[in-house]
Amino acid sequence: MAASLPPAYLRPAREEDIPAIARLSHDTLLVGRKADGVFPSEKLWGELFVAPYIRGGLCNWVAVVGEEVAGYILGAASNAQVFRGLVPSLPGILWRFFLGAYGPRLPYVRYVLRLLLFPSPRAPHRLYPAHLHMAVDAKVRGRGIGSRLLQTFLHCLRRHGIRGVQLATTRANAAARRLYRRHGFRLYRRKASPFWAPYLGRPLIHEAWVLDLTGEGWAYGGGPGDPPAPGDRRG
């Protein structure tokens, strides 16, 4: 399947990529799977969780296969950067939301409330100020695209003088954990969270992974395993 596809190339993400990135991201929102019941509108998803990175974040890249965006990595040097990217469009989003332009409001309210009630574990922002989100189209996974996106992203952060980066995933996401570990990330903290329980029927172990981008601690390949970490609640 993958062998017959054209090669992928990477380029910086642009405003016009927002719908394609939103589609890839929305397709994987429920622990790597599509789940329209969780957050029905792909458009609202893109306006809230993709556009702010393109407009306020940094080191955003897409992988293009043929003519199509088939993977992305979005980053920001701080949460404040993402918020600044969101603010200008917020009045319009709220207006459309209250007019019902995204469909019934309840699933969104529920989702956002659960985000606030059950935040993912985090590492200290002082040490790991940047964060990232990424996904690759299921049709072209396993061809090294995720690895190239991550490597390019990390080089870009380093060029910007960012000292560390963190990300959130779950213990169930074997492919992502393998990718991050291979690029030198280490598990910083994990905790069981009921965030996905209403949708999956069970709690998941949520994890924060970190990478130090300064000096000797910064290296690709052969990353450490899962050393004990402050606040680590194993199992």
Ligand X SMILES: CC(C)(COP(=O)(O)OP(=O)(O)OC[C@H]1O[C@@H](n2cnc3c(N)ncnc32)[C@H](O)[C@@H]1OP(=O)(O)O)[C@@H](O)C(=O)NCCC(=O)NCCS
Q: Return residues touching ligand X (CB under 6 A).
A: 28, 32, 134-136, 141-147, 167, 169, 173-176, 178-179, 182
Q: Which is nearer to ligand X, 88 or 142 (CB)?
A: 142
Angle 163-169-170 from CA coordinates, rounded to 5°: 145
Helix or strand holding residue 130 (H, E): strand 130-136
In angstroms, what is the minimal distance from the CB of 117 to ligand X?
A: 20
In angstroms, what is the minimal distance from the CB of 222 to ligand X?
A: 11
Q: Which is nearer to ligand X, 50 or 135 (CB)?
A: 135
Q: Which is nearer to ligand X, 103 or 142 (CB)?
A: 142
Token digits of residue 106:
């309840």
Cβ–Cβ under 8 Å, residues 123 and 190:
no
Q: Which is nearer to ligand X, 89 or 173 (CB)?
A: 173
Question: From residue 119, how far is each of 25, 67, 192, 193, 207 by CA, in Å?
Answer: 19, 37, 11, 8, 11
In angstroms, what is the minimal distance from the CB of 234 to ligand X?
A: 20
Cβ–Cβ under 8 Å, residues 228 and 204:
no
Q: Which is nearer to ligand X, 108 or 180 (CB)?
A: 180
Token look-up 């950067």 returns: 81
In angstroms, what is the minimal distance from the CB of 101 to ligand X?
A: 27
In angstroms, what is the minimal distance from the CB of 218 to ligand X?
A: 19
* Residue least distant from ligand X (Cβ): 146
Judged on CB neighbours under 10 Å (0-12, 13-18, 19+), 223 is middle
